[in-house]
Amino acid sequence: MVDVNGVRLHIAEQGEGPLVVLLHGFPESWHSWHHQFGPLADAGFRVVAPDQRGYGRSDHPDDVDAYTILHLVGDVVGLVHALGEEKAYVVGHDWGAPVAWHTALLRPDMVLGVAGLSVPPPFRGTRPPLASMEERFGGRFYWNYFNRPGVADAEFGRDVRTTLRKFFYSASGSASPSGEIKQPLVEPGRGWLEAMPDPEVLPEWFTDEDLDALTESFSDGFTGALNWYRNLDRNWELTAPWHGAVVTRPALYIYGDRDLVPAFPGTPELIEKLPDLMPSLRRRPLELAGCGHWTQQERPNEVNAALVEFLTSCA
């Protein structure tokens, strides 16, 4: 446990050498990186993965306003210092990717290199994201569903294990062998889980032991994690000073071709333009064939090889 900015963060740690901070997404925990610890430590790095605020054994502040992007970046900065370091490599998946990208954007002096999985680098839009999606999809986009106080919290908390089993299967490459990707919409009067398939057998990459660990980490519910989404428009306001700014530190972006996030409106066009928009990218975005949303868990070998190559090239 590490005290950072008024909250206690639970971390997992392995290895010695330059610090690499691994940031998980929703609905996950530090455990989502368990395939990366050994290979990165063997490559000569000190690997640390926290349960971010609102998750797992870390603190869950009650105030929704305690989950802005500035709080989340502040936790990374504070964690690096609490671990006795001045600089670190920062790697994030899903929600952890925006935290990693913004850490590099706001504190480039502390970031040796940054990698994002699933979610591409931030390019701040001209309108608040929740309002934009509300208009585009008539309030059915899952961000807007998550923004309703207590609604998704109650749905997901009724049967945590089933919730997580459905989430992980439905957003994986295993659930869409045809490669068809649909926008994550929640129909009026229905919860999100109702439309998700519930697999009789888990994919090979997601074991019962993984599901056990994840279920335990959400024993206190989903509200802290959902509060990240409830700050999307607030984050847009807070990052106004960086409008038009780009990440300048060495960067890597990895995504799956069956991942729903890179298929969000406007995102495929952004990914195509990334090499021109971000000269700091060390290679073209790495697209993993047949991979869904859970990048580092579905394709650990490819992700580990790409991360080791990237991190050692930045050293």
Residues noted as catalytic: 94, 293
Query: How many angstroms separate the CA atoms of 225 and 24, rounded?
Result: 11
The two three-digit tokens of residue 160, written as one number? 């945590």
Q: Which residues contact 188 (CB under 8 A, 6 or more apart)?
A: 139, 140
Tell me, what amino acid is at 44? G
Please list the residues that pair with 286 across neighbouring strands. Answer: 254
Q: How many helices (H) and strands (E) does the chain have?
A: 13, 9
**145 and 282 in contact (C-beta within 8 Å)?**
no
Does the CA dihedral 308-251-30-45 come out positive or negative? positive
**20 and 115 in contact (C-beta within 8 Å)?**
no
Length of the chain measured in residues: 315
User: Residue 290 — φ and ψ, nearest 5°?
Assistant: 75, 5
Q: Give the H/E segment covering residue 314.
A: helix 300-314
- In whole angstroms, how far apart are CA 194 and each of 156, 185, 187, 236? 11, 12, 10, 31
The two three-digit tokens of residue 132, written as one number? 């934009």
Q: Which residues contact 45 (CB under 8 A, 6 or more apart)?
A: 15, 17, 18, 19, 20, 89, 311
Query: How many angstroms separate the CA atoms of 226 and 82, rounded?
Result: 27
Query: How many angstroms separate the CA atoms of 104 and 280, rounded?
Result: 11
